[in-house]
Amino acid sequence: MNRNHYLQDKGFAPQDSFCKIGKVTFSMLPLPKHLFFAAAALLLAACSPSQPQEIPQYFYDVVHTYPHDPAAFTEGLFYLDGFLYESTGLEGQSSIRKVRLETGEIVQEHQIPGQYFGEGIINWKDRLIELTYKTQVGFVYDLAGLGLQRQFTYQGEGWALTQDGKRIIMSDGTPELRFWDPETLKELGRITVTDEGVPVKNVNELEWIRGEIYANIWTTNRIARIDPESGKVTGWIDLTGLLADTDRVAGQTDVLNGIAYDAKSDRIFVTGKRWPKLFEIRLIKKT
């Protein structure tokens, strides 16, 4: 009879019962059996892998409702100095516009050649940069007049653009986001957007908001809040019900798309493809 057999015979648990919490090892000997099992239950709970923290969920309050061109198939959106800049898609219908927020009035517009499907836009200094969907051609315009300055090329599909003050951030419909040098428009690196380890597909219109990347996920009512370093989704915003059924036209009204941010006044705007309204929203964390 070795020591363990002796201890078990005397009502004690085996000597090699222990667990590790961090770098600390806890021995559970010697204990009478009834205490051993109570202690084991407690330690089992302590030794179990910690449950992953649930990703915070948000819903919304509508702060203001503004008119939006119900013919605008919104692909890109940002806010600058009192105006929205918007790009619209579809071949033959693509344009970039400068729009007065309060009225929806188009104050400047540039039509895109019919072979291109306009996608994401963003400002950089005195320029406005635009992607196209599958043609792998981008355009650089002067921000003040929306006049074309030059073209550039990139690989893959073009979905959306935003910028963090140092880099341009680009989505292509995959879970990857690309970072570009804003001057050369050359790639600096990528992150993969993941939700609890699972890559998130269809990452669409982007906005840089308070140090995070917001992205609406194509064909859903959800916006992901993304850590720009790791690509991890740090929050989900559910915009279900934002556009009322009574504001929808069958075969016309399309999905949520378009996030803009007024950093000076901390206002978030969202709209959708051929939505008649654009909303300023406030996020509310679900408890």
**Residue number with CB closer to Ca ion (174 or 204):** 204
Distance of closest approach, residue 150 Cβ to Ca ion, in angstroms: 22
- Residue 14 bridge partners (DSSP): none
Window of 21-29, 164-172, 206-214, 223-231 that interacts with Ca ion by CB under 5 A: 206-214
User: Smallest distance from the beta carbon of 76 to Ca ion, in angstroms?
Assistant: 6
Please enumerate in sequence order all residues whose Cβ is within 8 A of that of 202, keeping only pairs 6 or more positions apart, or say none: 173, 217, 218, 219, 220
- With 0-12 / 13-18 / 19 or more C-beta atoms within 10 angstroms meaning exposed / middle / buried, residue 9 is exposed
Determine the interface stretch with Ca ion among 62-70, 72-80, 132-140, 193-201 (rule: CB under 5 A).
Answer: 72-80
| Residue closest to 170 by CA, chosen among 188, 197, 195 | 188
Least distance from C-beta 260 to Ca ion, angstroms? 5
Q: Does 84 bind Ca ion (CB under 5 A)?
A: no
Return the residue matching tokens 């008649």: 276
User: CB burial class (10 A; 0-12, 13-18, 19+) of residue 270?
Assistant: buried
Which span (38-46, 57-65, 142-150, 254-262) binds Ca ion, by CB under 5 A?
A: 254-262
CB of 77 to Ca ion, least distance (A): 5
Nearer to Ca ion, 171 or 174 (CB): 171
Cβ proximity of 121 and 129 under 8 Å? yes
Smaller CB separation from Ca ion, 87 or 174: 87
- As beta bridge partners, residue 169 has 162, 179
| Residue range at the interface with Ca ion (CB under 5 A); choices 41-49, 81-89, 165-173, 258-266 | 258-266
User: Which residue in the set 69, 75, 119, 207 belongs to the binding site for Ca ion (CB under 5 A)?
Assistant: 207
Question: By beta-carbon distance, which residue lies closest to Ca ion?
Answer: 207
Enumerate the β-bridge partners of residue 72.
none
One residue of 13, 28, 72, 77 binding Ca ion per CB under 5 A = 77
29-57 residues labelled b (16+ CB within 10 A) or e (exposed): bebeeeebeebbeebeeeeeeeeeeeeee
| Binding residues vs Ca ion (CB under 5 A) | 77-78, 207, 259
